[in-house]
Chains A and B, each alone.
Chain A
Amino acid sequence: MATVEFKGKTFEIDEDGFLQRFEDWSPEWVDYVKEQEGIKELTDEHQKVIEFLQDYYKKNGIAPMVRILSKVTGFKLKHIYELFPSGPGKGACKMAGLPKPTGCV
């Protein structure tokens, strides 16, 4: 298991760069990840997606389905990709600190 140090914080990550523990998430994590996920500047829209994912995960124990993410944030899938070029799973969920998506991905 690799660890990264960033702005005085230590994060344990897996080989795909996902956080090992949701509790370890902090705003610095988003700062650290954004570059590798192709994001220059964090906007309110990014923030809205990340916050919704975290709320949903805390409440339900799972990441929302893509249609739920779109419906609640009001962002069409196309726009989510504009915000997070790697998409809602690899991009947004990783930045929000959610566990790595599983299944036949």
Chain B
Amino acid sequence: MAFVSSGYNPDKPMENRITDIGPQNYQNFLPPVIKNNYGKWLYHEILEPGVLMHKAESGDEVYTIRVGTARLMSVGLIREILDIADAHCDGYVRWTTRNNVEFILDSKDKVEPLKKDLEGRKFPGGSNKFPIGGTGASVPNVVHTQGWVHCHTPATDASGPVKALMDEFYSEFQSMELPAPIRLAVACCLNMCGACHCSDIAVVGIHRKPPLIDHEVLDDICEIPLAVASCPTAAIRPSKVEVNGKEKKTVAIKEERCMFCGNCYTMCAALPLADAEGDGCAIMVGGKVSNRISNPKFSKVVAAYVPNEPPRWPTLVQTIRKIVDAYKQDAKKYERIGDWAERIGWERFFEKTGLEFTEHLIDDFRDPAYYSWRQTTNFKW
């Protein structure tokens, strides 16, 4: 398409430039029933999976229908969401912190028509566009990252595994029969954009091979001291090599000290390490952010490596299925996965889930590793 100017003048880039105006005030977008009862809510109920009711002091009732989304979406799909909001909710709609979409209604008789409308909408491939659910003790949306869609440091994909996982846990999304909610998260590298370090179950992309070093260009495109300082295990040091008879500044990597985090590649494009066979996923469990009963917890690695198996990641999905089933069967009401694992003991967690315990799971990172070992004779055979 030919160029169409927005009115921006490249010869005078600072002219008519608007800056530092921030986001719009959220108040501008509140449905009237929310605005009128702001800060005056009495109680709420979960009427059924995906449907909530909030009661205000004024007696007003607000009905919310939560639907799953793929997070990554086209303008076409956003328009469809807006059409639904226009038809049922006077044009108001909101997104949740887990990238679900919530349609808000000001009376009960609008619930069934909206539900019927949502349930009828499918993609040509057959997937539901707006599955209702994600409330209460369910598996709501998976917080996830860019993967092979956009990032340059991933060790796995995000959208692909998330779709495979949510297909597997679809009935858990649409029901509330777990002991407590299970928050799933996916991050495609150890940078862990998102919530992997504090989720009930998390998938994190990992490498298993050290970076390749492009000696020829390294000094030209990298700030060597940054690459050296980026390494958590001090595996990198500045060095010199001869390339085509010319001495070049570069780095050397002690491979036996490298644990393939990829930090150095983040800082220096001459140190790529992605590898089709080497890369895969680690599974972590037992994290939570709420203060409910127990304090917030980090998630812990329980499977050091499962292979990348695009497009459906069957080993990954089945391993997580085993964890969810064991938890569902064994945990007490209100127990998050981490609460459950800590009560029964991690040795029992591995027994009940059938996961293999390997030496990779034993912390060996600096002094704090010691505190993760067992300083007691309290254990179960």
Contact = CB atoms under 8 A, between A and B. Distances in A.
Contact of B268 (A14, A20, A102): A102
B14 A62 contact: no
B21 to A, nearest CB: 16
Contacts of A14: 221
Given A102-B269, A103-B266, A85 B14 contact: yes
Interface residues of B, number: 15
B191 interface: yes
A9 to B, nearest CB: 17
A60 interface: yes
Contacts of B266: 102-104
A62 B221 CA distance: 11
Contacts of B226: 62, 102
Nearest to B224: A61
A46 interface: no
A62 B225 CA distance: 7
A38 B222 contact: no
Nearest to B263: A103
Contact of A102 (B14, B222, B225): B222
A100 B222 CA distance: 8
B223 A63 contact: yes
Given A102-B266, A102-B267, A103-B267, A61 B223 contact: yes
A62 to B, nearest CB: 4
B224 A104 contact: no
B220 A60 contact: no
Nearest to B223: A62
B220 A61 contact: no
A14 B221 CA distance: 10
Contacts of B225: 60-62
Contacts of B220: 20-22, 99
Given A104-B191, A104-B266, A99 B14 contact: no
A52 B253 CA distance: 31
Contacts of B269: 102
B140 to A, nearest CB: 27
Interface in B1-52: 13-14
Contacts of B222: 99, 102
B235 to A, nearest CB: 18
Interface of A: 14, 20-22, 38, 57, 60-63, 85, 99-100, 102-104
Interface of B: 13-14, 191, 217, 220-226, 266-269
A-B pairs, 9 with minimum CB distance: A38-B13, A62-B223, A21-B220, A61-B225, A62-B225, A102-B267, A61-B224, A99-B221, A62-B226
